Chain A
Amino acid sequence: MSDSALVLDNVCKRYPGFDLQNVSFELPRGYIMGFVGPNGSGKTTTIRMIMSLARPDSGRITVLSQQMAENEIRLKQRIGYVPENHEFYSDMTVAWTAQFVGRHYPTWSPERLRELLEKYDVNPRKKVGALSKGTKAKLAMALALAHQPELLILDEPTSGLDPIVRRELLSDLLEFVADGDRSVLFSTHITSDLERVADYITLIVDGRIAASDERETLLERARASNPTASIEDLLWACAKGGR
């Protein structure tokens, strides 16, 4: 079994007015990586390419030791994905949505889902359209975890959530990687979330990777010039052109 849950190697993508250039980073198994950058820096585009929702112009994406482009369905069965916007059928109930999603995963556990919905206080009989943004985020998280994925990919999961829900979700991430074989990539621009849970941090600015390393290594490097530097300072320095 390879040590990497996710490897991006010189991935490029060009849109009118925006370039993602030579994005490379590696997430080892058993760790949480925070993918951080300002709004519009390319976090969501990168995640969409990992999930095959967008095609890279060049470069390679290796997920759980396999090429995503060639093994899309099998790999997606091993990935839990929570998108930035929680898009479900608003007229359908939580229970129906869970049943619909569960059909596509051989490792789906209805018992696990029931536990998660209870824990998150999501009523399975409610229509998805009637749920608040925070509850939808919890539902998305429960759906992503109920098939016991090996890799969890979260696109700004804590954005717009109240501090209590945010803290709950972050503690779930720590619980998720506790067995040492599961990994998490989560994008955010809330740097305090990274300080709580991230083992690795990848900084992306203007479509380029500004830094990617263990959190403590990055902080040590930053603290060489500023003894009180935080991840936010690091992001600020990168965004303003420093390293």
Chain B
Amino acid sequence: MLGLIWKDFRMNRGMLVLPAVVAAGFTLMGLVVNSRESLVFAASILPVYSSMIVPFFALNSVTLEEKNRTLAFLRSLPMNPGAIVASKFVAPFLVGLAWMGLTAMAVAALGIPAGEGAFSLASAALLVCVTLPVAAVQLVVFFRSGAGAARTALLVTWFILFLSPMLLPGSKLGAMSLFVMAANLKPGVSGLVAAGALVVYFACMLIAQAIFRRREL
């Protein structure tokens, strides 16, 4: 499976390089610039990336697989079909972990104080974890119905997860207040959310494996 994961990294290297450059850029800015306002502005981009990187890496990876029509090629090789599916789940997860590491470096370099809704490593980790079920659902849909359906699933789950709480009748939640709420969750609650997201993610992997084993190519 390591070969498959490495292949995904190679094929989606553009998606890895861009955030790495952004994170490195912010870190440098933190070291060089002393303007508090510009640092806060720069730091606000980090959560946006954190909430996107896992699902979009997964989507790009499966879209390329479909564009090249290589699922049948992979299935014709002597490898467990479950490993093909697992690699599509594990690679984005590793990218999420790597992004958390980069974020930690950037947060440390920017010197942003914790609390009061400020972006921290904990909130980055939480944001990455919250997006795991979004990626998981789209991957299950991909292995069931293809990349087009996976894109739709991504939009729908994204809407349900991030936008619908703001649109609920009587809701006074805005994007910023949601983010502040997420950033200031108690550690126990954050841990529970992260653990739940991980359970959903890897349960969806098992479902996708079962679907793919039965799927004809």
Q: Determine if B3 and A73 form an interchain contact, defined as CB atoms under 8 angstroms apart.
A: no
Residues in B71-120 with C-beta less than 8 Å from chain A: 72-73, 75-80
Please tell me if B216 contacts chain A, counting CB pairs below 8 Å. Answer: yes
- Closest beta carbon of chain B to A139's beta carbon, Å: 12
Give the distance in Å from the alpha carbon of A41 to the alpha carbon of B72 in the complex. 21
- Closest beta carbon of chain B to A136's beta carbon, Å: 12
5 closest A-B pairs by beta carbon, nearest first, are A76-B78, A54-B216, A87-B73, A77-B78, A87-B69
- Closest beta carbon of chain B to A78's beta carbon, Å: 9
Give the distance in Å from the alpha carbon of A196 to the alpha carbon of B94 in the complex. 53
Please tell me if B34 contacts chain A, counting CB pairs below 8 Å. Answer: no
Please tell me if A85 contacts chain B, counting CB pairs below 8 Å. Answer: yes
- Closest beta carbon of chain B to A108's beta carbon, Å: 11
Most buried by B among A53, A83, A101: A53
Q: Determine if A74 and B76 form an interchain contact, defined as CB atoms under 8 angstroms apart.
A: no
Q: Is the interface of A mostly helix, strand, loop or mixed?
A: loop
Q: Determine if B68 and A88 form an interchain contact, defined as CB atoms under 8 angstroms apart.
A: yes
Q: A53-B217, A91-B11, A92-B11 are in contact. Are A85 and B78 (CB under 8 A)?
A: no
Give the distance in Å from the alpha carbon of A74 to the alpha carbon of B77 in the complex. 10
- Closest beta carbon of chain B to A95's beta carbon, Å: 13
Give the distance in Å from the alpha carbon of A55 to the alpha carbon of B214 in the complex. 8
Q: Determine if B75 and A105 form an interchain contact, defined as CB atoms under 8 angstroms apart.
A: no
| Chain B contacts for A72, CB-based, 8 A | 78
Q: Determine if B73 and A104 form an interchain contact, defined as CB atoms under 8 angstroms apart.
A: no
Please tell me if B10 contacts chain A, counting CB pairs below 8 Å. Answer: yes
Give the interface residue-count category, chain A.
20 to 34
Please tell me if A51 contacts chain B, counting CB pairs below 8 Å. Answer: yes
| Chain A contacts for B77, CB-based, 8 A | 76, 101, 104
Please tell me if A31 contacts chain B, counting CB pairs below 8 Å. Answer: no
- Name B residues whose Cβ lies closer than 8 Å to a Cβ of A: 3, 7, 10-11, 64, 68-70, 72-73, 75-80, 214, 216-217
| Chain A contacts for B217, CB-based, 8 A | 48, 53-54
- Closest beta carbon of chain B to A92's beta carbon, Å: 7
- Closest beta carbon of chain A to B146's beta carbon, Å: 15
Most buried by B among A76, A96, A105: A76
Q: Determine if A89 and B70 form an interchain contact, defined as CB atoms under 8 angstroms apart.
A: yes
Since A83-B72, A104-B3 are in contact, a sample of 12 more A-B pairs with Cβ atoms closer than 8 Å, ordered by chain A residue number, is A54-B216, A76-B76, A76-B77, A87-B69, A87-B73, A88-B70, A88-B73, A89-B7, A89-B11, A96-B10, A100-B7, A104-B78
- Closest beta carbon of chain A to B10's beta carbon, Å: 7
- Closest beta carbon of chain B to A43's beta carbon, Å: 16
Give the distance in Å from the alpha carbon of A87 to the alpha carbon of B73 in the complex. 6
Residues in A68-111 with C-beta less than 8 Å from chain B: 72-77, 81, 83, 85, 87-92, 96, 100-101, 103-105
| Chain A contacts for B7, CB-based, 8 A | 89, 100
Q: Determine if B76 and A81 form an interchain contact, defined as CB atoms under 8 angstroms apart.
A: yes
Identify 8 residue pairs between A and B in the complex whose beta-carbon atoms are under 8 Å apart, listed by A's number: A53-B217, A74-B78, A83-B72, A83-B73, A87-B69, A87-B70, A89-B7, A100-B7
| Chain A contacts for B11, CB-based, 8 A | 89, 91-92
Residues in A200-218 with C-beta less than 8 Å from chain B: none
Q: A55-B216, A76-B77, A77-B78 are in contact. Are A103 and B3 (CB under 8 A)?
A: yes
| Binary contact readout A43-68 vs B (1 if CB under 8 angstroms, 0 otherwise) | 00000100111110000000000000
Give the distance in Å from the alpha carbon of A100 to the alpha carbon of B79 in the complex. 12
| Chain A contacts for B10, CB-based, 8 A | 92, 96
Q: Determine if B79 and A89 form an interchain contact, defined as CB atoms under 8 angstroms apart.
A: no
Q: Which residue of A lies closest to B67 (CB)?
A: A90
Q: Determine if B72 and A73 form an interchain contact, defined as CB atoms under 8 angstroms apart.
A: no
Give the distance in Å from the alpha carbon of A101 to the alpha carbon of B69 in the complex. 16
Most buried by A among B10, B11, B70, B77: B77
Q: Which residue of A lies closest to B69 (CB)?
A: A87
| Chain A contacts for B64, CB-based, 8 A | 89
| Chain B contacts for A81, CB-based, 8 A | 76
Give the distance in Å from the alpha carbon of A55 to the alpha carbon of B69 in the complex. 20
Q: Which residue of B lies closest to A54 (CB)?
A: B216
| Chain A contacts for B79, CB-based, 8 A | 73, 104
Q: Which residue of A lies closest to B78 (CB)?
A: A76
Give the distance in Å from the alpha carbon of A72 to the alpha carbon of B69 in the complex. 21
Give the distance in Å from the alpha carbon of A77 to the alpha carbon of B78 in the complex. 6
